Amino acid sequence: MSTEPTTYPGYRFPAEVIHHAIWLYHLFSLSLRDIELILAERGLVVSYESIRRWCLSFGTEFAAKLRKRRPRPGDTWHMDEVYLKINGELFYLWRAVDQHGVVLDILVQERRNATAAKRFFKRLLAGLKYKPSKIVTDGLRSYG
């Protein structure tokens, strides 16, 4: 038996429609107008403003449920660092990916040093609460 409500008081559409719109927004990163068009193809006339309000009202709870359902990351992690230019300024992109290609975490910052690499890795371990058995890096000295 599901604990999900069938309708939300004060909302015109059933909870299933609201959940589907929020799911499209959070999982596929579609724009609100794209979701409006997708729902219109299914015969539901919903404004993008209604979808925006649904995402604000129910989005955090829904995103937390999606995060809980996400599979546990693999035990081999690949850590890499690249530099990129944003508006003409040099930034460093730190990225951690598991062996299945799932991005575990990213960090963009202006400096590149051992302290930044350690802080990124500590934050990654604290946030995921999983310990990798093997870490593959590109051999930079900043990883230590």
Q: What local confidence, expressed as pLDDT, does residue 143 receive? A: 56
Q: What is the pLDDT of residue 20?
A: 93
> Higher model confidence: residue 130 or residue 83?
83
pLDDT in tens, 1-30: 456 777 888 888 999 999 999 989 988 888
The string of pLDDT tens digits covering residues 86-107 is: 899 999 888 888 888 888 888 8
Return the pLDDT at 140. Answer: 61
pTM: 0.54
DSSP 86-135: ETTEEEEEEEEEETTS-EEEEEEES--SHHHHHHHHHHHHHHH----SEE
Which range, 37-46, 53-62, 64-73, 130-139, has the best average confidence (pLDDT)? 37-46
Class for domain 76-143, per CATH?
A: alpha beta
93 φ/ψ sector (left φ>0, alpha ψ -120 to 50, else beta): beta
- For 34-60, the pLDDT digits (tens) are 999 999 999 999 999 999 999 999 988
Q: Look at 42 and 123; give whichever has higher pLDDT.
A: 42
| The residue count for the chain | 144
- Domains of the chain: which residue ranges? 15-69, 76-143
